[in-house]
Amino acid sequence: MDSFGIYLHIPYCKSKCRYCDFYSAPGARGVPQAYVDALLRELNKRDRRPDTLYFGGGTPALLSPGQVQALVEAAAPLPGAEITLEANPDTVTPETLRGFRAAGITRISFGAQSADDAQLRRLGRTHTAAAAAQALGWAREAGFPEICGDIMLALPHYSREEFDATLALLQQGGCTHISAYLLKIEPGTAFARHPPEGLPDADEAAGFYLYAVQRLAGAGYRQYEISNFARPGHEGRHNLLYWNCRDYAGIGPAAHSCLRGTRRFWPDDVQGFIDGTAAEQTEGVCDAEDFLLMQLRLAKGLDLDEYARWGGRFTGAQMAFLHQCAAHGYAVLEPGRVRLTPAGMIVQNSILEELI
């Protein structure tokens, strides 16, 4: 049977980070039981058991361990399933982490972002570097087999020293997986309305990215996707479903699905989701273009035979362009495969414009 994943969107947050454009709602008092009941209602409509289950947000750690346990039981993941829960360092305690682990969570993912407290305040994060280190320690004590951490790159007044300190924080915290991604100023965010001073330019940001790739490799974290690095055997199985265009079902406002080649989404409407008046909508089909876009995110690249099975092929002009990319160090052409180098991943959008 093909792999299948379920994503549960938990939109509640204590506060909105200045760079965040994800759909969210105020959640200082936790996640309302009415919202959990709505997730349970939708899970109970499904009979396909997932290989992966992902609690994303928002801030899923605002759920209580009892709420998490009820949702895991309703999803009925297969034996050996990867079950991930995202958390902010200041939303967990030793007790809640032990409760999440007992509820079945196998993979905890912390949004650490930086080891510089002034930077964290600038981003609108509500934790400190010390709180991140403490949360990682509590997660180790709770017995999570997979501990993940996020690093944001090319932040205002950024430096290699800030990256090194953040990597050390996560490495010493026992992280098996690290996501490292460039800050992007998204429309509608606080940073878009009031851009921060000291942002690196495009060339400087690219330099920070390439430095991160090098340093992460040296620390034993192998790059397997544009922004994702893991110790061998600890790659995130759920997100690989997305990038390999496998089936996944998203549940909750703003969540997306791709099932049997059809992409669907829930509207951005928490109350409508709770009431049952907001219906999942069809977005389109998953085709060769989607497969190309997703596969070139991966370090392994695009298998040309599999691309052909999706109905895709490169013209002579496109192959000539790819040879130019290879000559300039942006891509590697192997028999039956095309993959981007880290330098190529930085300009992936420009490369895709020529290929789609």
Tell me: the pLDDT tens digits for 153-178?
999 999 999 999 999 999 999 999 99
d(CA 224, CA 227): 8
What are the b/e assignments for 259-278, b being 16+ CB within 10 Å? eeeebbbbeeebeebbeeeb
Q: Is the pLDDT of residue 28 over 80?
A: no
Residue 250 in tokens = 């998203």
Q: Give the Å distances, CA to CA, from 334 to 30, 206, 250, 315.
A: 50, 25, 35, 17
Does pTM surpass 0.85? Answer: yes
Rounded distance between C-alpha atoms, residue 112 and residue 15, angstroms? 16
Check residues 187 and 22 and name the one with the higher pLDDT: 187
What is the predicted pLDDT for the residue at 188?
Answer: 85
Residue 1 has pLDDT above 60, yes or no: no
pLDDT 10s digits, 228-274 = 999 999 999 999 999 999 999 999 999 999 999 999 999 999 999 99
Mean pLDDT of 290-318: 96
**Mean per-residue pLDDT, 316-341:** 97
- Tell me the pLDDT tens digit for each residue of 182-227: 998 888 888 989 989 999 999 999 999 999 999 999 999 999 999 9
Task: Give me 189's structure tokens.
Answer: 């965010």
Are 8 and 39 spatial neighbours (Cβ–Cβ below 8 Å)?
A: yes
Query: Contact at 8 Å (CB) between 94 and 66?
Result: no
Strands (E) in the chain, as ranges, are 4-10, 12-13, 25-26, 52-57, 82-87, 107-113, 146-153, 177-182, 222-225, 228-230, 247-251, 256-259, 262-265, 281-285, 302-303, 331-334, 337-340
Label residue 26 by pLDDT band (50, 70, 90). confident
261-267, Cβ contacts within 8 angstroms, sequence gap of 24 or more: 261/285, 261/286, 261/287, 262/286, 263/290, 266/9
Give the residue extent of every domain in the chain: 4-242, 301-355
pLDDT score for 356: 87
| Rg from Cα positions in the chain | 20
Beta bridge partners of 26: 13
pLDDT of residue 339: 98
- Residue 185, pLDDT score: 84
Sort strands 337-340 and 302-303 into parallel, antiparallel or unpaired. antiparallel
Note whether 114 and 150 are within 8 A (CB).
Answer: no
Q: How long a stretch of residues is the chain?
A: 356
Class of domain 4-242: alpha beta
Across the chain, mean pLDDT equals: 95
Measured distance CA(148)–CA(87) in Å, rounded: 10
Confidence of residue 64 (pLDDT cuts 50, 70, 90): very high
Express as a percent the part of the chain with pLDDT over 90: 90
Q: What is the rounded end-to-end Cα distance, in angstroms, of the chain?
A: 31
Cα separation of 10 and 192, whole Å?
A: 24
Beta strands across the sheet bearing 302-303 = 302-303, 337-340, 331-334
Question: What pLDDT is attached to residue 281?
Answer: 96
Tell which residue, 197, 342, 251, has the closest CA to residue 6.
Answer: 251
C-alpha angle with apex 336: 331 to 338, nearest 5 degrees?
A: 15
